[in-house]
Structure 1
C-alpha cells in the first residue's frame, strides 16, 4: 500500500461483514473516568463529536446490558449518555459506544467509544480510555481540525496521555479474528504511520511491568503528554525546543506534540518516510511504554482459527520511530 493509496477510503470486508475501515482517530488514556469532573468532560467531548457526526450514527449499546440498539441516523434515537452517566455510582465504571456502521458490529469510520473502569485500589494501574474515529476525507479536506479537537479535549479530560493519527478501525466484536489479524498485520508492515484500535495494552501487567500506565505506546501524528510526563522529558520548554520546527500545542495540564502539518501513513514499510514522526519518536522515547505484550497479532501457522502475538514483532513495531534498533529479548 502506497502513501496515496492509504489516504483513500479503504474498507476490508469478509463474508458481508466490514472487518477493517481506514480512518483517523484520537484515543485518550486516563487512570479514572468515573470521577464527576471526568464524566462531565466525557459528556462535553461527546457533544462535540455528535455536533459533527450525530446524523451518521446507526448503532449504540444499552449502558446496562451492552445489547445493541439501532439509531437510524440519529444519535438521540435511543438513550443518550447525558440521561444516565452522572447518576451512575463512581465505583461501578461504565462504557458506551455509538457508531455509523451499516450492521451492528461493522467497522466504521464514525465512532465514539468510552471504556471507563470502576474505581480500584490506589495501586491499580489499568487505564480507562476514550476513542473517536474520523472519516479520512473529512481530515484530508480540513473539515475536521483533529489537532485543535485533541488539544481542547485533553484540556477537558486531563488524560495521562493520548494519540491521534491514521488508524485501522476494526469491527466491534469481542476479539480479533485471524482474518482481521492477517489484514491488519500486512497494513501495519507496509504503512509505518498506521495505528489501530482494539489492543488491550491499556491493561497493566504487573509481572511484566507493561501497559500504557507509564507512557504512550509509540510515536504518532499527535501525542498528548500530561505535565508529569513532560517533566520527565525536561519540561515543556525543553520538549518544544526538541520538537522544532514541529508544533507543540500546550493546554492546561499538558501539551499535544504534532509531527508535521498532516497525518501520514508512510510508505514501503519505512519509518524514515515519516521524518517528523521520527523526530517525535526520539523526543518521547524516555517515557514510551516498554515491554508491551499482545500488540501485533498474526494468524497461528499451526491453527487457522487462532492468533498469536510474536513478541519480537511487537517490539520492532513499537520502536519503529525511536531511532534505535530493538534489543534482542533473552530466551
Structure 2
C-alpha cells in the first residue's frame, strides 16, 4: 500500500515531512451557564456568562454579556456586551448594547438605552430612549422617557423627567417631573421638582424652582429660590427664598426674600445696604467715588412728593440769572463813578 501525507502534512524537497498549521479558531465560543435555568433558551448570545436562577434564560442576540442574579437579563434582547448584576436587573432590557445595570430591578424593563448606566434599586426601571445617560440611586429615572445624554442621581430624581435631554439632576426628587426641560441643571432636594417646560434652567438649592413651570432660562440659587416663579423668562434669583412674581421677564432679585414684581427690574431687599468701593456700607447706597448722571449736565437732582428723583435745570438757570445781575450791578456801579 502506498502512503500519502495527510492534509495537515507535506513533503519537503529533501523528503522531510512538514506539518501545516491550521488557522486559529476565532468563532465565538458557547455561553457559560451556572444555575437553574440559567441561559436555558438563550439564542444568538455566544461568549455570555449567565449566573443564577433563570439568569439570561431567554436572552436573544446579547453576545459577550455578563448576567448574574435571579432572573437578571431573563429576556434581554439585542443588547450585546451588557453587564447586569442583581435580582431582575435588566430582566427584559432591549436595544441597550454596552449598558450596565447594577441593583435589584435596575433597568428591569428599560428600552433603547445604548451605553447607559443604571445603578441602584429600580434605577431606570422602565426607562425608554435614554441613550448615553447615567442613573444613580433608588428609583432614579424610574419611568423616564426620551431623555438622552443626562446624569440623574438621587432618590427618585428625574423619575418622570421626560424629554429633558442633556440635563443634570442630583438630589432626592430633583427634577422629579421636569418634563420638557432640556439642558437644565437641578441640584438639591426637590430642586426643580415640578419644573415643567423650563429649558436651560439652573436651579441649585433645596426646593429651588420647585414649582417653576414654564420658566425659560431661569437662574435660581439658594434654598427655596424661585420656588413659585412660574411663567417667567430670563429671571435671576439669588438668595434664600428669593422669588419672582409669575409672568415677569428679564428681572433680577438678590438677597434673602428678594422678590422682583415687574419685568426689566432689579430688586434688592430694603434691609440690605449696597456698598460700591466699600465692604462696610452705612447706607442703602454707599459709594466711595463720584457718581455720574449722563442725562444731567450742570443741573441738580430734585425729588417730588412721591420720592421720584429727576434732573432739573434750575441751578443752571439760576447761575445764568446771577451772571446777568452781576453785569447790571457792574454797569450801575460804573455809572455812579462817572457822576
- Structures share a fold, TM > 0.5? no
Higher alpha-carbon Rg: 2
Q: Which has the higher helix share?
A: 1
TM-score between both structures, scaled by the size of structure 1: 0.21
Higher relative contact order (CA 8 A, sep 6+): 1
TM-score between both structures, scaled by the size of structure 2: 0.21
